Structure 1
Amino acid sequence: MWKKWLSFRHYRLVRGPLTYNQDGLATKHNCDFIHDPRFAGAYQRGKETGSWRGAEIHWRAYVACWAAERACGIAGDFVECGVNKGGLARTVMEYVDFAHLPKTFFLLDTFSGLVEKYISPQEQKEGILPGGYEECHEHVLQVFSKFGNVKIIRGAVPETLELVNSRKVAYLSLDMNCTEPEIAAAEFFWDKMEKGAMVLIDDYGWKGHIVQKKAFDDFACRKQAQLLSLPTGQGLIIK
């Protein structure tokens, strides 16, 4: 009887213990990457920034690390649009030992939350609102102060895109929680990306971000690129 009740309530039981249950994703499958010393150390550096507000995002962070490592072998710099306190970028940099790579990591953000003029009416109806994040510019400057190959650019995308003075981009991470700046960034950097370059879209599959998903589906179609939807809620394009 209780199984039928759970099914009626739109729950499904999984046989056996869960190996992973966080960040909107639950599974009984193998996730031993969490215990890999290299990843665990990198994740801890990211967690220490305070970006995730007490949440755990191991699998999302692992996807970013995987994409970043692939991008290390591609000509071009790294760009992250939507940084907050720097947790994901710090994780990635630790994982690939970015300090010793002949690349620059550009970090673009307002460092104070979303800008109202870039949030569409439909997105506002979905609950995406201006602000939403505490002021963190000085904090981010401190987090990355020891890295000589990081450039922190404050301001709203797309207004700041021209400040990225890179001819080639190998890794592009997008996490700005609204459509217009993310599509603008994807369009701006696409022609600077060579075959094999990575575009990681953090909000692609998340509830409340359907406007972004549809916009990136259209973007991928126009660019004749395949967009992989991941169970983490992320989307991934390998050019």
Structure 2
Amino acid sequence: MQQSVITKEIFAFLTDLKNNNTREWFTDHKKEFKAYESEVKMFFQQVMENLKIHDDIEKMKMFRIYRDVRFSNDKTPYKPHFAGSFSRAGARLRGGYYLRVKPKETFIATGFWEPNKEDLFRIRKEFELDASEIRGIINAKSFKQIWGNMEGDEVKTAPKGFDKEHPNIDLIKKKQFIFVRNFSDKEVLSPDFIDELDQSFKAIRPYFDLMSDVLTTNLNGESLLD
């Protein structure tokens, strides 16, 4: 299979769209958009195929370029980027992958964006009990070189029922548990970009494996899937 790439022409179109974000302009350039969308979809599909070699991926979803402006202050009708997500399979595997391609603002993200109430409580109880294993993973030099520090929204002091003086409160107060890696345009346009994405996604696996284990067991380590 020929290596799929993001081209300068794709970036040029997205830049033009950003500078001409109107329905009239987009209608006049719909044919170009469809061609570039098809190229990017092929790229995303290859990212998924690479992921499937070392992970169990349930589905890929590319997001629509049309913006829902009903509840937004930004009334421009189109997103000047391509983006999509890759979901891990089943109740046994948790977490997901996200990729956004945009001139000067391309990034990938992984982790847990909006854990439901039960999952969030389970994660916090795990960190209250013992956070040594998670810290060992996310503080490893090789991990931090790729993914940096954990990001995500958090409560100001402590969630209800948790001690604000707890030594692991920095983890307990989080509401999201995500990692983000940004890429320069030069990196995105490189023929090696798709391989760099795959190596980055491989590096997150120890984190996903631990969190999947946490979310499929109780505090005694007994499986919740049976």
TM-score under structure 1 length normalisation = 0.28
Structure with larger RCO (C-alpha < 8 A, sep 6+): 2
More helix by share: 2
* Structure having the higher Rg: 2
TM-score under structure 2 length normalisation = 0.29
